[in-house]
Structure 1
Amino acid sequence: MASANRQQETASLAVRVARLYYFQSMTTAAIAEEMGTSRATVSRLLSYAMENGLVEIRIHDPGEQSGGLEQSIKARFSLQRVQVVPVADSAGAQENLRRVAAHAAAYLGTLVQPASVLGLAWGTTVAEIANHLVPRQVRDVDVVQLNGSGTGHDYVDSFGGSLVSRFAQNFGARAHGFPVPAFFDYAQTRTALWRERSIRAIRSLQEGATINLFSIGVKESGSYVHTSGYLSKQEAQAIQKDGVVGDIATVFFRGDGSWRDVPLNARSSGPDLDRFRRAQHSICVVSGQGKVAGVRAALHGGFINELVIDEPGARLLLADDAEAAPAAAARKGRAKA
């Protein structure tokens, strides 16, 4: 009880300091004098307020209203929201991922509200986002795994399940794992399992997700699906031959955004990609130029309504799409003729 009281007192002081600092523009020295404490204590309270979700910082970029990268991508692909994360062209892949993930984590913290259902597609990017979450308790929240992560060699669904638990703990939410393989050996097995009441309950929760958080898996960027034993050599060759450029939640799609007739999808535990069109927030988070082709295909498929992307990738996305559009129009014209 004493510990809880101390925590509540610290939170109350942190809120008071944050209001003086951010709302009244007082310096740490002035706040320290008013409260009869030291500047070091004031700084610690400000850090506490930030780390515990008592303060949220939002930046309103005027360039977003005047034709910057974000506005151009938003208009080109009819998106609800685009966030371009500043990253130097010389930044390494890990630093690029870290910055994009930290930005996405901060944004997600502003979206999760009471009664939210957060759907997670596991992967390296979502795991990095988990590393940057700011603890924030929100009532009546559910976090649900969108696709199984068991393999043919190891049925234990550890990767996806642990991610769901981390996000749920961060928001004080209920965690709902999906203890099935990423890919079934037989489509008939999936069909039969989907009829089970326990699985139907999870899939109903997936269907009702208000926020979907995912990245694009591509072989060229060392996607977890391609590097961790989920696909046999024959399966990898088959999807490459079929023109697959990426996956969302282990559901594969081609460069034109088509996915329903990709044979491997009949055995995937991932969701119907059309579901992402219906969610209030379908947030795709990507870093690295190797994912741009996959992002472009997913955008043309309509699976994304919000995009968080690094700046070099955003520039390449616009440039490549501008080059691809005339060629696509020409192909359509020849087909009509």
Structure 2
Amino acid sequence: MTDDARARAPAPSPDPAVSAVQVARLYFYQGLTTGQIAAELGLSRPRVSRLLTLARRSGLVEIRIHDPAEHPQALEAQLRGRFPGLAPHVVDVPPGSSEALSLERVAAYSAKLLNQTLQPGQTVGLAWGNTLDAISRALTPRALPEVTFVQLNGSANAQEFVSGFVADTLLRFARNYAGRAHLFPVPTFFDNPETKRLMWQERSVRHVLDLQERAEVLLYSLGSRQSQAPSHVYTAGYLGASDQAELDAQGVVGDLATVFYRADGSSWGIPLNERASGPDLARVQAARQTICVVAGVGKARALHAALRGKLAQTLVVDEHAARAVLELE
């Protein structure tokens, strides 16, 4: 660069964010080295490196790797073609990776997506489980004024009163966004549908149900007994042997907020749903915005059925599970 050109170069801004954008443009768009940028802007090389790091970490710069095979992008296109109206996000994972690693990658991606999606003043319905617990641990702090998180399905059983699994998950979401958490202190499954009907008339329970109805965003995963790490509802003592036999007899392949559905996405006529505390799946279909997060090939049948039943608008899924879903008829 000539002395005249250097003289015309804009002085670095005192605002670090503005300086970070300026440095990023020179580095990524014009292909200048850190040394050349330092000379042009009158900065030290370490300062230039720090500004590039700021640009990446603060989201001013997004780095996308374009794989020649474009596996995630191709899978997203196929999912949109197979399930019209779906907005899929396919997360790449290493070949042969475990479902635990898939969950870690999907949870991290989902946490970032939430920071871009959630808005002040919203009410967000959360269906607890292993996946949302993983997302809650991957969140990065972002204060959202007047945001409210409400539990979509009950979690009470003898073991859960001791473990605190569900409450801890919801409280992490609330603390991360400086919001409020509303727990749903009712049984996951009632012993009798009539007991549920009477409980739903209680004022304290009605308050939570009203919040659920007002939720602008629903965030959930899907339950399946076929995954390497079966969903929490199947392992934490919520279902007895007779319950599981009944689900098999009904052709159940998965659950959403502990409401069960079949391979075609239907949930009508499943007796256990009459005792379940989760929302009617018609409510999920009619929701303003739904985000379904799934990790692991073991959940492919449950996800395929949910997509057939139009139980998701936005989907975050690892590429192995996405491919397995597309292979199902």
Relative to the length of structure 1, the TM-score reads: 0.81
CA separation of 1:44/1:160 partners in 2, compared to 1, >3 Å: closer, same or farther? farther
2:23, 2:48 within 8 Å by CA — same for their partners in 1?
no
Higher helix share: 1
Matches within 5 A, 1:55-66: 55=60, 57=62, 59=64
Matches within 5 A, 1:149-164: 149-155=155-161, 158-164=164-170
CA–CA separation in structure 1 for the residues paired with 2:184 and 2:88: 30
Cα deviation for residue 75 of structure 1 reads: 2.0
Match of 2:279 in 1: 271
1:81, 1:305 within 8 Å by CA — same for their partners in 2?
yes
2:125 to 92, 116, 119: 119
Matched, 1:302 2:304: no
Post-superposition Cα deviations, 1:63-110, rounded to whole Å, max 9, x if no partner, equal: 99x982111111211133111111122112211111111111111110
Match of 1:206 in 2: 212
CA separation of 1:198/1:45 partners in 2, compared to 1, >3 Å: closer, same or farther? farther
Greater gyration radius: 2
Partner-residue secondary structure (3-state), 1:253: strand
CA–CA separation in structure 2 for the residues paired with 1:113 and 1:57: 21
Match of 1:193 in 2: 199
* Root-mean-square deviation (Å): 3.0
Residue 50 of structure 2 aligns with an amino acid whose one-letter code is S
Q: Quick one: percent identity of the two aligned structures?
A: 38
Cα deviation for residue 306 of structure 1 reads: 1.4
Matches within 5 A, 1:4-83: 15-22=17-24, 25=27, 30=37, 39=46, 43=50, 46=53, 50=57, 55=60, 57=62, 59=64, 68-83=74-89
Match of 1:255 in 2: 263
Post-superposition Cα deviations, 1:10-44, rounded to whole Å, max 9, x if no partner, equal: xx965345433445548666469968677279639
Match of 1:4 in 2: none
CA–CA separation in structure 2 for the residues paired with 1:35 and 1:265: 67
Matched, 1:85 2:87: no
Structure 2: runs of 5+ lacking an equivalent = 1-13
CA separation of 1:287/1:153 partners in 2, compared to 1, >3 Å: closer, same or farther? closer
CA–CA separation in structure 1 for the residues paired with 2:39 and 2:129: 45
Structure 1: runs of 5+ lacking an equivalent = 1-11, 325-337
Post-superposition Cα deviations, 1:293-329, rounded to whole Å, max 9, x if no partner, equal: 0001111111111111111111121121xxx2xxxxx
Matched, 1:170 2:176: yes
1:282, 1:304 within 8 Å by CA — same for their partners in 2?
yes
Matched, 1:231 2:239: yes
CA–CA separation in structure 1 for the residues paired with 2:186 and 2:233: 15
Matched, 1:314 2:296: no
Residue 19 of structure 1 aligns with an amino acid whose one-letter code is V
1:149, 1:158 within 8 Å by CA — same for their partners in 2?
no
Relative to the length of structure 2, the TM-score reads: 0.83
